[in-house]
């Protein structure tokens, strides 16, 4: 496994892979790898000749009161885990390397962003789309792997790839969970012990919604109200949202049909957790 930190070095490695006719699976991350990331790597390893992993905490996707400075970082640990999973190349640039000067052009996402987490994180997905445009251009992967834990991000990336005609296959990968159902996340380490016990109920509320739908319920508002009541009974964290939309369009629906997403966010003392499921009727 090779680790590069400059765009020049990255381009040299990608050029070599292309000349050898190797397919590239790309896994973009902000590091502090957990089992969710490792599952993406495993999938990429199965479906491609080479796996390129990016580790970059992107400042453009953090708001002024968000956790950019305190976001967990441990490159040596990440390198070890990546090597064990068979990553071929890590691109771990500095902020200065990725943004050597103020951008004269950036990407603005117009759809699929004014709901769920995007509603309260103005500019967040612009930052995601801008850095991914850079990375897609530099790495030119055949496939790019994203976890469905952040299903809104997957929807935005879907739009980015289609609108800009990137010759990339988007591969969404199901959320990896702890034994009690909690979605794996770098931010889980910030939960207090009692919060960690309560956090499993986020997924349980989604299971409740799934069971209601399987029993014939088709009214989104009814499902949301029952999920809210369940969470208020079992979790002391503050509910940010519980929402249901078509997927990946993320448009309001009044009666459940087609493909849709049920998503939620709960804010604990030191961590804000998100989770979701998608269903098809």
The C-alpha R_g of the chain, in whole angstroms, comes to: 19
Identify whether 56 is preceded by a cis peptide bond (ω within 30 of 0). no
Using CA atoms, how far residue 13 sits from 41, 58, 122, 178, in Å, is 19, 22, 35, 36
Single out the catalytic residue among 37, 137, 234, 254: 37
Q: Is 150 annotated as a binding residue?
A: yes
Q: Is 187 annotated as a binding residue?
A: yes
Q: Is 30 annotated as a binding residue?
A: yes
Closest CA to 50 of 84, 34, 27: 27
Q: Which residue carries 């020049």 as its tokens?
A: 8
Q: Is 254 annotated as a binding residue?
A: no
Q: Is 37 an active-site residue?
A: yes
Cα dihedral: 167, 142, 149, 165 (round 10): 0
User: Where would I find the beta strands (DSSP E) of 18-152?
Assistant: 24-29, 50-55, 89-91, 143-147
Q: Is 37 annotated as a binding residue?
A: yes
Q: Is 184 annotated as a binding residue?
A: yes
Structure tokens at 224: 């949301």
Q: Is 36 annotated as a binding residue?
A: yes
Q: Is 106 annotated as a binding residue?
A: no
Q: Is 153 annotated as a binding residue?
A: yes
Q: Is 148 annotated as a binding residue?
A: yes
Q: Is 35 annotated as a binding residue?
A: yes
Q: What value, to the nearest 5°, has the Cα angle with vertex 157 and ends 136 and 131?
A: 45
Q: In the chain, what's the furthest Cα-to-Cα distance?
A: 59
Rounded Cα distance between 4 and 76, Å, is 13
Q: Is 86 annotated as a binding residue?
A: no
Alpha helices in 99-150 (DSSP H): 124-139
Active site residues: 37
Sequence ranges of the binding site for beta-alanine:
61
Sequence ranges of the binding site for (R)-pantoate:
61, 153
Sequence ranges of the binding site:
30-37, 61, 147-150, 153, 176, 184-187
Sequence ranges of the binding site for ATP:
30-37, 147-150, 176, 184-187
């Amino acid at each position: 496994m090779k680790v590069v930190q400059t765009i020049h070095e990255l381009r040299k490695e990608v050029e070599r892979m292309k000349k050898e006719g190797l397919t590239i699976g790309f896994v973009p991350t902000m590091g502090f790898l957990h089992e969710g990331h490792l599952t993406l790597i495993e999938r990429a390893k199965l479906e491609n000749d080479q796996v390129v992993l990016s580790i970059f905490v992107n400042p453009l996707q953090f708001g002024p009161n968000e956790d950019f400075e305190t976001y967990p970082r441990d490159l040596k640990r990440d390198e070890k885990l990546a090597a064990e999973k068979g990553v071929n190349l890590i691109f771990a640039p500095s902020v200065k390397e990725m943004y050597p000067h103020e951008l004269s052009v950036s990407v603005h996402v117009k759809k699929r962003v004014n709901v769920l987490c995007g509603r309260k994180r103005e500019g967040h997905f612009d930052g995601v789309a801008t850095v991914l445009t850079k990375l897609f251009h530099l790495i030119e992967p055949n496939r790019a792997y994203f976890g469905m834990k952040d299903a809104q991000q997957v929807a935005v990336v879907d739009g980015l790839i289609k609108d800009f005609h990137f010759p990339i296959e988007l591969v969404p990968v199901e959320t990896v969970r702890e034994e009690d159902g909690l979605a794996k996340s770098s931010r889980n380490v910030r939960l207090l012990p009692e919060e960690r016990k309560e956090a499993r109920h986020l997924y349980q509320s989604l299971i409740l919604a799934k069971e209601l739908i399987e029993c014939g319920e088709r009214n989104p508002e009814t499902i949301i109200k029952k999920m809210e009541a369940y969470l208020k009974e079992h979790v002391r964290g503050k509910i940010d949202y519980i929402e249901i939309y078509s997927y990946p369009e993320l448009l309001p629906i009044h009666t459940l049909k087609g493909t849709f997403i049920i998503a939620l966010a709960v804010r604990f003392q030191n961590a804000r957790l998100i989770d979701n499921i998608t269903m098809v009727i």
